[in-house]
Each structure stands twice: as structure tokens, then as C-alpha cells.
Amino acid sequence: MKKLVLATLCGIASGTVLSAEVSEDRIQFLEAQLKQIQSELEQQKQSQLALKAQQEQSKAADSKSLSSMMDNVDVYGMIRLDGAIDFKSTPETRGRTINQINKVPFTEPDSVRSDFTAAASRIGFLAKDLGGNPNISARLEADFWTNNGKGDGGLRIRHAYFKYYNWTFGQAWSLMSTPEISTDAVDYSLLLGGSILRTPQVSYAFKLDPENTWNIGLEYMAGGDRSSALPALTTKFVHQSGPVHLLAQGFINEKQAQTATGDIEKIGWGVGAGGRYRFDDRNSIQGNYFHIVGDQRIAAFLIQGSTVDGAAWGGDYSVDTTNNELLLNEFNSLNIGFTHKFTPKWRSSIAASVVDFDDSSDYAKANPEANKRLTDYVANVIYSPVPKINLGAEYHHGKRETFDNKEADISRINLSANYSF
């Protein structure tokens, strides 16, 4: 039967019908050809199996590599609802959930006003041990606090940096910021006079010993309508030992105004000091002080609108075109707070803040409608029913005073509910 089949195949290939008397040599030739084809098919099959095994091994290795990489990435964030109820001198536009004591109007509203937003919700990614090196990490964090927290759905970059050993490259906490010693607050932007500034920067940390670190950096502090020829030179000394956490800070920066007759420059500078002392696990006191010349962006709730000369750079300085000179604004700020934990679920803080602008400066004389003094007194209570959930209420009573003796009282309640993950 096998010979008959082979003979038939041969007949089809040659185009002729073979008879039953096909020669034995022809049949043997065809059998050899079939064996060769079978051998080649078997080789192809083995090659395909080997390739499939190799692909599966590669896929498993990639999956293991991806899993290993994801093991080094922490995903974190916060879902947060903020609200505020204003009883006096509230801003007329939305975005009122944070304290805007620096620019509240001097006419009281016809009725109580409130505002709520979820724009402070955030998400972040922290990648550690990049390339298997524990000294290399990266962080990307964003929230929805665009357009002054009005919740229009846009993303705002909070942090975007990587660390290479003691170097930091990207947008991170300014060396002039103070979040690590701030009093516990319900207001998303913390308290008057503190600093939560984040800047594009290149900085380096000198680890002097386990308790002391000295940081130095170049930071872009201009932002918005501000301009400068060079980044600001900043520095920060940190001491941590047991219950004590101390900061000493400073910066120097060239301020620059672009006018029709050319650029005008002047040096701005500032220093700061602050700390926290924990009496025990339940009680702590904290505060900070700033003296700053020519920059209001560093401290919270100080930025003012345009000065009387129409300049867009706000309250940092104004331009004396007659003498071709920048008139720098100058202020001292101080805030101090006390925190007490009643139980693991209940805690409360009280705080007082004051910012005094120099009313004898040339800036003050040229800008009588600018702020002279801001004060804010705060009391809050925060309840944590379960870990990672905080419910808070906070009362603010403050005052805004200008160089021309206008006054506005502030009375508001801040509310917040957040879940951290």
C-alpha cells in the first residue's frame, strides 16, 4: 500500500499516470525524499519549540523585572475635602478654602459665605533603589490645586525630583520652607508666616554627623511676573536630636525689574530660624521666624496685588523710575503654636502669627495701600476615628492693616476630611 501511495504521488508530480510496474529504484528514491522532508519538518518543530521556550523564559524574566521594579515604587496620596465658612471680610471669588488674609477686602459681605473643594487631593510615586542603588531615588507628586484651588480638574506639580546620593535635582521643598516644624493645621496651606514653598532647584546636603545636616542650593524663586538674572542662593542647617528639631535658613537673590529704559536690579535677602520641641508623646511647641527683604513668596499668605506704580511684580518691590531704583519691601514674621494629644484619636492645636512690614521704608511711602501688619489667631481640633482618616475643624480670627491705616477683620471656620493612603 505504501509503495502504491508513493507511486501515485510521483505520478502527480510528474504529470503522468504511473502504472503498477513502477521501478523499485524510483520508489526507493521517493522514500528517501520523504524521509528527508520528515527530518526537516522535525527539525523545524524542534526549532519552534526551542524558540517558544526562549520566549516564555524572556517573558517570565520581564515579568520578574517589572515586579521587582514595582516592588521599589511606593504609591501614596490623599483624598481630601476642604471647606471654609467666612463671617467677615471674605474674598468675593471662589477658592476661599485657604486663608487669604493678605488680600481680603475692607468691606464686609452681606451674608455668611462658604466654599468647598476636593482640589487638595493628591497622588504621588516614590521610586527607591533605582538601578539597585539605595542612594538613587525619584519622586513625582501632584494635586489638583490649580487656579487657586477652584477645582477645575487640572493637575499641579507639587514635587518632581530625583536624588543622586546627596544631590537633589528638580522641584522640591525650598531650603527656606518649614513644613517639618509647622503646627498641625486644618487649613491646607498651613499657617500665616510659615513656608511651604517648592521650587525648581539643584541642592546638596552635607551630612556633618547623624544629628546635623547643612544644605546649600540654587533655586529658581522668580515665578510668575518676578524675574532675576540668576537663581537664588539658599542654605539650610538642620539639627535633630531626640525631642529637638532646629532650623536655620538664609537666601540671597537678585531682584530684577524690566522697564522701558532697561533692567533695574537690586539684591534681596532673608534669614529664618525655627524649631520644634516635644515635651513628650502628647505635647509639643513649635514656631519659626523670618526677616526678609524683597521677597514675599517665601512665607505663606503674604503676596499682594500690584503696587501703585502698576507693576506686575506685586508686593516684593516697586520701581522708582525717577531715580532708576527698586524699592524693596521688608518684613518680620513670627508664628508659634502648641499641640496637645488628648487621646490617640483626638488632638488639638493653638497658634498665633504676626507679620510686620517696615512702615519706614521707601516702599511703604510709595505704596500706602500695601499691607502693614497681618495677624492671625488659630485654634483647631482634629479627630482620627481610624488610622489614616482625619476630620478637622479650625477657627481663625485675624486682622489685615495697611500703611494708610485701613483695617479688615477676619473670622472664619475651616473644615477638612481626608483619607491618606
Domain ranges of the chain: 2-60, 72-420
- The grid coordinates listed for 325 are 531704583
**Residue 9's pLDDT is what?**
44
**Residue 323's pLDDT is what?**
85
What does 2-56 look like in DSSP terms, one character per residue?
HHHHHHHHHHHHHTSPPPTT--HHHHHHHHHHHHHHHHHHHHHHHHHHHHHHHHH
**Residue 12's pLDDT is what?**
47
Reply yes or no on domain 72-420 having CATH 2.40.160.10: yes
Tens-place pLDDT, residues 341-396: 999 999 999 999 999 999 999 999 988 989 999 999 999 999 999 999 999 999 99
Q: Percentages helix, strand, coil for the chain, rounded to the nearest 5?
A: 20, 45, 35
**Residue 90's pLDDT is what?**
63
Ranges 12-16, 22-26, 92-96, 218-222, most confident: 218-222
Quickly tell me which residue has 522535525 as its cell.
Answer: 42
Neighbours of 307 (CB within 10 A): 22
3-state DSSP assignment of residue 301: coil
- How sure is the predictor about 147, in pLDDT bands with cuts at 50, 70 and 90? confident
**Residue 228's pLDDT is what?**
74
- How sure is the predictor about 130, in pLDDT bands with cuts at 50, 70 and 90? very high
**Residue 62's pLDDT is what?**
64
- The grid coordinates listed for 271 are 534669614
* Residue predicted with more confidence, 298 or 147: 298
* Residue predicted with more confidence, 170 or 37: 170
The average pLDDT across 212-237 equals 86
| Rounded distance between C-alpha atoms, residue 102 and residue 400, angstroms | 7
| Rounded distance between C-alpha atoms, residue 109 and residue 116, angstroms | 18
Tens-place pLDDT, residues 286-326: 999 999 998 888 887 777 755 555 555 567 888 887 888 88
Tens-place pLDDT, residues 52-66: 888 887 777 666 555
> 245: which strand partners?
240, 276
Least confident of 98-112, 249-263, 349-363: 98-112
**Residue 13's pLDDT is what?**
45
**Residue 47's pLDDT is what?**
82
The average pLDDT across 384-411 equals 94
Indicate if the pLDDT at residue 327 is higher than 60.
Answer: yes
Tens-place pLDDT, residues 185-207: 999 888 998 999 999 999 999 99
| Rounded distance between C-alpha atoms, residue 305 and residue 93, angstroms | 15
The average pLDDT across 155-172 equals 97
Would you give the DSSP letter of residue 314?
G
**Angle (deg, nearest 10), helices 24-71 and 2-14:** 90
Q: Enter the pTM of the model.
A: 0.81
